[in-house]
Chain A
């Protein structure tokens, strides 16, 4: 079951809704800390939801490299196709 990147992006955007307190437009460049103003704890909570949504393991070790929604999407895409 491989999914294309756009589908994954859409699903991540849906999951992000509750975290998007200021209701900004989300694009692939949207950064969790700067644009969405999420602290590291919230990003970890979100990571957990994305793990369950896609039924994958996203190691905590990857977190420092996942600053934007686009990077997250690519990481999920990669994990799904492994």
Chain B
């Protein structure tokens, strides 16, 4: 008897099939119309988008749209080629120039997604005799970059400098000459916590390791000119490679890596996820270039963080168990029971708020999260609407007791 290749998915399919049907299923929902960076029509109803990663509200920016439309008219819908075979237009080079200016650095390479930037850079830089040292809570693209490469992979405990130090010590003890790449994230996306880059880079440099920081969730959001957490914590000169994405603050799609390493351009010759995939379409390149200029010149960061603080504080005050503190654009409540979390998501969408349901293994410490990623484009009225609906659903599902009961319980 031949084996069914799909048999191994039976457990996950069983879970999937037990999900609620129709409008309340988080994995089948789709948007009928997108009205703005913060609103869409879903299930025929106007819905507030509370989990988009659209931190700057850049997706409908008039200047970015005009630039994209012009590029579409002038250069067509796609490049139909890799960066090394037909797929490099002047605008791709211009975008790389813009990135170099944005980061004030020597080299920039644009990839087709942030996922591919991590896959490509990590798997290529760290070869068979090298080590990659990653944080436990790293994004899937970092784990996959490790899996694709041939280096020895070692994990350290999330954001724990001593734990990193121990591991680097052991590697150096056993192999004084090894090349070591330490991979960090500026902001860890699930709970919005920042890496303590000062300590982590100091330790890495003590052991002569290279440091790569993925600023996917921090570009535009932190730092004086929006470069991210490395800028915010004033350690940019200690960082060898910064990776980022255009799919969040920049409002389109694409990834990049910037560096001052004198031989950095070699990656264009050897990095397979750069070479063996088509380059970004001209309209995407044009809007990304414009958005980077806007991020460097306008400051929407305080509005964004005010929005986040307002929602975080509100959720905490009504008695939710918080996963976040409000110091990043993320607001997430922790729900103990997975089925309650799934039901919570369904109730929220019925009430007109689209939040993100985040479940293990994508979450740290196996948490079930109802997660919002806020935007500078949200109004306080929208934030208050989210809060009202969170509270309503929390009470409906018995997660929140009403205030009187809570006070009585405390007494």
Contact = CB atoms under 8 A, between A and B. Distances in A.
B170 A57 contact: yes
A61 B155 contact: no
| Chain A interface size range | 10 to 19
Interface in B120-171: 136, 146, 152-155, 157, 163, 166-167, 170-171
A25 interface: no
Interface in A34-66: 39-41, 44-45, 48, 51-52, 55-57, 59-61
B366 interface: yes
Nearest to A45: B136
Nearest to B169: A55
A60 B174 contact: no
A44 B155 contact: yes
A82 B154 CA distance: 18
A61 B361 contact: no
A79 B96 CA distance: 45
B153 A61 contact: yes
A48 B361 CA distance: 18
Given A55-B170, A57-B170, A60-B146, A39 B154 contact: no
B155 A41 contact: no
B152 to A, nearest CB: 4
Contacts of B170: 51, 55-57
A82 B361 CA distance: 34
B154 A41 contact: no
Nearest to B149: A61
A60 B155 contact: yes
Contacts of B174: 57, 82
Contacts of B157: 48
Contacts of B176: none
Given A57-B171, A57-B174, A60-B146, A41 B366 contact: yes
B153 to A, nearest CB: 4
Contact of A59 (B152, B163, B360, B361): B152
Given A44-B136, A57-B171, A57-B174, A52 B153 contact: no
Interface in B206-225: none
Given A44-B136, A48-B163, A57-B174, 8 more contacts: A39-B361, A41-B361, A48-B136, A57-B167, A59-B153, A60-B153, A60-B154, A82-B174
